């Protein structure tokens, strides 16, 4: 017998909360009180995080606070979490482009807000909040790319590492400026940077606060490509075309592909292999697989 509507809704909400907990790193057991830090962050308002979902399965996530070079205010941190939840529930999604409004990526956390929460408890709570959100971004079953125009500094540089790929426009720059602020990365940027460029290069970029221009990023394997245009509309078009090479195809297969790679990236080998087996089971004999068996394509 079908469940009444309210029971269905309750069930879905429970499942979503459980899924968010599973994908996050910190919860009450770590002394993390999400509602408290959210309340605090809400006091530092400004800017927005916007999401548009296109018919081609590509989502566009925009950091929108151009007056402050897209610095992250408290409300933007909370909105980022909300948009990630939306993306987790977008079953038709295959890809994601993260970029900043006004021809620049992001200048890190809003220094006006940071000054107000400079005590250690607030700092740790904000750090756990952002690590949870960026870990969920990294684990989305969508192929994600940071489109870097202008500057990606501090937390902005960390955000680029939560995406699968980075594309840079001419004249743009990624820079981990934390040392100048008497800090180290705290949004997970150091751990992810080591995975992307290796520990030696990561240590140099962090401890030398080195400017990473498009050429250097290519050399380090930090960026995939330098786009030809630094105009916002055209760069976005180029990023869409670049990403489409990987998102073309059946949604179930693209999402499964990202999931097997996430498992390989994060889990010990035996666990990753078992996860790969389970995900393989979701596509084997599925519509795309059966259709291909009929079509028998030649892979020339
Ligand atoms: C997670 C930990 C972290 O994120 S630590 C890193 C925090 N971020 C920073 O320290 C970046 C500080 N900003 C800068 O170095 C420069 O503003 C950069 C980004 C290089 C841009 O320089 P430029 O193109 O000359 O523009 P500008 O300095 O005139 O800035 C325009 C307005 O934006 C503001 N702005 C910029 N970044 C932030 C920020 N992170 N927090 C708060 N406000 C920021 C500037 O103050 C400036 O505002 P105003 O026009 O003077 O009112």
User: Does residue 145 come out as left (phi exceeding 0), alpha (psi in the -120 to 50 range) or beta?
Assistant: beta
Residues 228-234: contacts with CB under 8 Å, at least 24 apart: 228/170, 229/169, 229/170, 230/103, 230/149, 230/169, 230/170, 230/171, 230/172, 231/103, 232/101, 232/102, 232/103, 232/149
Q: Which CATH number fits domain 32-245: 3.90.226.10, 3.40.225.10, 3.90.79.10, 3.30.930.10?
A: 3.90.226.10
- For residue 107, report the distance from its CA to the centre of ligand 1, in Å: 6
According to DSSP, the β-strands at 173-175 and 151-153 are: parallel
ipTM > 0.90 (yes/no) = yes
Ligand 1 nearest-atom number relative to CA 181: 5
> Is the shortest distance between the CB of 109 and ligand 1 below 6 Å?
yes
Total-model pTM: 0.94
Spell out the domain ranges in the chain: 32-245, 251-295
Q: What is the mean pLDDT of each run of 10 residues along the chain (300 residues)?
A: 73 71 84 91 97 98 98 98 97 98 97 89 94 97 98 98 98 98 97 98 98 98 97 97 98 98 97 98 97 93
H or E element at residue 173: strand 173-175
- Residue-level pLDDT at 18: 67
């Amino acid at each position: 017998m079908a469940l009444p509507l309210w029971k269905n809704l309750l069930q879905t909400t429970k499942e979503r909360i459980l899924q968010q907990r599973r994908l996050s790193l910190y919860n009450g057991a770590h002394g993390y009180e999400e509602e408290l830090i959210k309340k605090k962050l809400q006091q530092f308002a400004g800017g927005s995080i916007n999401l548009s979902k296109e018919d081609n399965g590509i989502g566009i996530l925009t950091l929108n606070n151009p007056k402050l070079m897209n610095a992250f205010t408290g409300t933007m941190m909370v909105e980022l979490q909300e948009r990630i939840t939306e993306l987790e529930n977008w079953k038709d999604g295959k890809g994601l482009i993260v970029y900043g409004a006004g021809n620049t990526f992001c200048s890190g956390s809003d220094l006006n807000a940071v000054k107000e929460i400079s005590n250690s408890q607030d700092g740790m709570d904000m750090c756990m909040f952002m690590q949870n959100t960026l870990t969920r971004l990294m684990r989305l079953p969508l192929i994600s790319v940071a489109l870097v125009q202008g500057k990606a500094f501090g937390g902005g540089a960390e955000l680029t590492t939560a995406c699968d790929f980075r594309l840079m426009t001419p004249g743009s720059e990624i820079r981990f400026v934390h040392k100048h602020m008497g800090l180290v990365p705290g949004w997970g940027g150091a751990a992810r940077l080591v995975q992307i460029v290796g520990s030696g290069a990561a240590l140099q970029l962090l401890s030398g606060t080195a400017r990473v221009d498009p050429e250097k990023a290519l050399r380090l394997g930090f960026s995939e490509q330098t786009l030809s245009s630094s105009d916002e509309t055209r760069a976005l078009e180029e990023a869409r075309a670049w990403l489409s090479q990987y998102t073309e195809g059946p949604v179930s297969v693209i999402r499964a592909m990202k999931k097997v790679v996430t498992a390989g990236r994060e889990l010990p080998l035996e666990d990753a292999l078992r996860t790969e087996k389970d995900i393989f089971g979701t596509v084997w004999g599925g519509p795309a697989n059966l259709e291909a068996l009929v079509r028998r394509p030649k892979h020339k």
